[in-house]
A = this chain, B = another copy of it.
Amino acid sequence: MPFRSRYTGLIDKYRDHLPVHDDTRIISLGEGNTPLIRLHNVSDSIGKDVDIYVKYEGLNPTGSFKDRGMTMAVTKAVEDGSKAIICASTGNTSAAAAAYAARAGITAYVLIPEGKIAMGKMAQAMMYGATILQIKGNFDLGMDLVKQVAKEAPVTIVNSINPFRIQGQKTAAFEILEELGFAPDFHCLPVGNAGNITAHWMGYSEYHKSGIVNARPKMIGYQASGAAPFMRGEMVDNPETVATAIRIGHPQSWDKAWALQKESHGWFDELADEDILAAQKLLALSEGVFCEPASAASLGGAIRDVKNGKIPEGSKIVCTLTGNGLKDPDTAIDQCANAKMTTIDATLDEVKRTILDSMAG
């Protein structure tokens, strides 16, 4: 008989590993359980013997990994009697906060940098009914303000400094370990606020400590060159990058990220914006997977480090794709100036000629 219980989200699934009670009211949209896709064509084209998997977190309910943390943060906020949540955001956190607040029936306040979040993310915050505060300043300034406001108003912060966020996000590592049956040799992530790389390390470490697996991956964090405090060794005051999701100069998980980099024997590195966009395009064109620009930093960095030998042959590599490409249609269309597109009359001759020309060309 093929029956199985309905999938009701990562808290129900990983209840034993998360700080919830038997009678906690779970606020869930069926997040987690995202596909771990093995790349065929990209791996082949590198000419090195490596296995690359992408964890496609863009298939979470609001289109990014933030949902994993938000189901926990909002569940706990509601349990504690909170009627409102607040976050600073480059767009993905605000979408997740707004959606889970809607599901819970509470209010979401989101602070976003004016004119600097992708169109899909703006549509989400509006549709889910968040109260949106566009500030004349960047994410880091928004983060400062959120911390101050939360001291003086009855609102719960749901940025990744909320410890429940990291708890939820660690489940991505659980899923990877369960599906592979072993720890990957390397796990590559885009790094902005550094909460997600911290959460993955926590997840890997918990399964390792429980004896479920006998190894942990080396953690590699890739930043955009214009927003790369881990490469500069200090905070960056005016971060700038096309990868808006990691346009952050003052990472909130600074100390934790440095600690896990050392403990895992991993490293940080940076990519220019054009290399990030090239990796995004490569992944869509050669594997049919469309991620947002920031996400592609993980794959772009991994490919470079495989080519230059920092990641040796024989390695099993997981790259996290943090968000869905549909979040940022403008940036995608902008870089497709050479797309194969023609406008023609709706006649058989025109269609046939166009197709046969294209085949001949």
* A binding-site residues for B, Cβ under 8 Å: 1-7, 9, 29-30, 33, 35-38, 40-41, 56, 59-63, 84, 86, 98-103, 105, 107, 109, 111, 114, 119-120, 122-124, 126-137, 141-142, 145, 148-149, 152-155, 174, 177-181, 212, 280-281, 284-290, 324-327, 329, 332-333, 336, 339-348, 351-352, 354-356, 358-359
Per the bound structure, the CA–CA distance linking A5 and B179 in Å amounts to 5
* Beta-carbon contact of B29 and A119 below 8 Å: no
**Are B340's CB and A284's CB within 8 A?**
no
The answer to whether A346 touches B135 (Cβ under 8 A) is: yes
CB-CB under 8 A for A351 and B132, given A102-B285, A126-B336 = no
Copies of the chain in the assembly: 2
A–B Cβ pairs within 8 angstroms, 16 of them: A3-B181, A6-B179, A29-B37, A101-B288, A119-B119, A119-B329, A120-B120, A120-B326, A123-B290, A124-B325, A129-B284, A129-B339, A134-B343, A134-B344, A136-B345, A153-B359
> Which residues of the partner chain B approach A212 to less than 8 Å between Cβ atoms?
1-2
Closest to A137 in B: B346
Once A98-B288, A351-B135 are accepted as A-B contacts, the answer to whether A35 and B7 lie under 8 Å apart by CB is yes
User: In the complex, what distance in Å separates the CA atom of A1 from the CA atom of B182?
Assistant: 12
Say yes or no: A145 contacts B351, CB within 8 Å.
yes
Structural contact, B62 and A59, CB atoms closer than 8 A: no
| Cα distance A126–B281 in the bound complex, in angstroms | 10
Q: A122-B333, A179-B6 are in contact. Are A142 and B99 (CB under 8 A)?
A: no
List 8 A-B pairs, minimum CB-CB distance, nearest first.
A30-B35, A137-B346, A99-B288, A326-B326, A126-B336, A103-B288, A102-B288, A123-B329
In contact, B355 and A145 (Cβ under 8 angstroms): no
Shortest Cβ distance from A324 into B: residue:
B326
Q: Smallest CB-CB separation from A281: which chain B residue?
A: B127
Cβ contacts under 8 Å, A155 to chain B: 355
A289 to chain B minimum Cβ distance, whole angstroms, is: 7
Residues of B within 8 A of A290 (CB): 62, 99, 123-124, 127-128
Chain B residues contacting A114 (CB-CB under 8 Å) are 343
Residues of chain B within 8 A (CB-CB) of A5 are 179
Q: Do A133 and B342 touch across chains, with their CB atoms under 8 A apart? A: yes
Q: A142-B346, A326-B123 are in contact. Are A339 and B288 (CB under 8 A)?
A: no
A41 nearest CB neighbor, chain B only: B105
Asked if B285 contacts A129 (CB within 8 A), the reply is yes
A348 near B145: Cβ-Cβ < 8 Å: yes
Tell me, rounded to whole Å, the shortest Cβ–Cβ distance linking A208 to chain B. Answer: 13
Residue numbers in B under 8 Å from A359 (CB-CB): 84, 107, 153-154
A157 to chain B, nearest CB (A): 13
A211 → chain B, closest Cβ, in Å? 10
**A114 CB to nearest B CB, Å:** 6
For the complex formed, measure the closest distance between the CB of A64 and the CB atoms of chain B, giving whole angstroms.
Answer: 11
B174 touches A135 (CB 8 A): no
Please indicate the chain B residues that have their CB under 8 angstroms from the CB of A324 in the complex. 63, 324, 326
Q: What residues of chain B lie closer than 8 Å to A40, measured between beta carbons?
A: 103
CA distance A155 to B359 in the complex (A): 10
The residue in chain B whose Cβ has the minimal distance to the Cβ of A155 is B355
- CB pair B133–A351 under 8 Å, yes or no, is yes
Contact B37 A127 (CB under 8 A): no
